[in-house]
Amino acid sequence: MQQSKPPIIGSSIHENCQYVGPYRLEKTLGKGQTGLVKLGIHCVTGKKVAIKIINREKLSESVLIKVEREIAIMKLIDHPHVLGLSDVYENKKYLYLILEHVSGGELFDYLVKKGRLTPKEARRFFRQIISALDFCHSHSICHRDLKPENLLLDEKNNIKIADFGMASLQPTGLMLETSCGSPHYACPEVIR
């Protein structure tokens, strides 16, 4: 992982600008179980990214191991329908994951707002999801928490699978045995 100084806090025209590497931190995009996600703007190119900020001190050792596994798995995946991880910065207190910025929000919110999808749009989303999952599975990666909240949409309404926090590498020929994922989406036999 790339070493970085702590976020630079300085004064300029903007009061108290914070930086992670070459990225200026902007508004908060969301908050997850392991950290805060902020918009980052590259100081030279102006490119937008999402920066997931994880406070190591607030996480247990077992959760930190999961975060490191998530980073390792995301570095293995390069697919147009999987949220890209471009870089990782760290210091003693924080991990900073530099992620692809997608502006369309969660598929969940899109479905709530729109209601029913047309068969054509549903097929398009389904093809993109299956394409990304097939790629992951061909590289022995199992997501294990696929749900509409973890399917993001880019500016062209293309699917981006996100949140590999529960993902696992599955050795060939072996079955995963840990029950995980979101209870609201679990099948009845898993809940039983």
Active-site annotation, residues? 145
Say how far apart CA 30 and CA 45 lie, in whole Å: 24
| Cβ–Cβ under 8 Å, residues 23 and 42 | yes
85-90 sheet: strands from edge to edge: 2-3, 85-90, 94-100, 48-55, 36-42, 23-31, 17-20, 8-10
Q: Parallel, antiparallel, or unpaired: how do β-strands 2-3 and 85-90 relate? A: parallel
Say how far apart CA 94 and CA 152 lie, in whole Å: 25
Element containing residue 23 per DSSP (H, E): strand 23-31
Query: What Å distances lie between residue 165 and 19, 66, 142, 150, 191, CA to CA?
Result: 25, 6, 11, 11, 21
Which residues fall within 8 angstroms of residue 63, CB to CB, at 6 or more apart? 34
Paired tokens of 176? 């995963």
| Cβ–Cβ under 8 Å, residues 68 and 118 | no
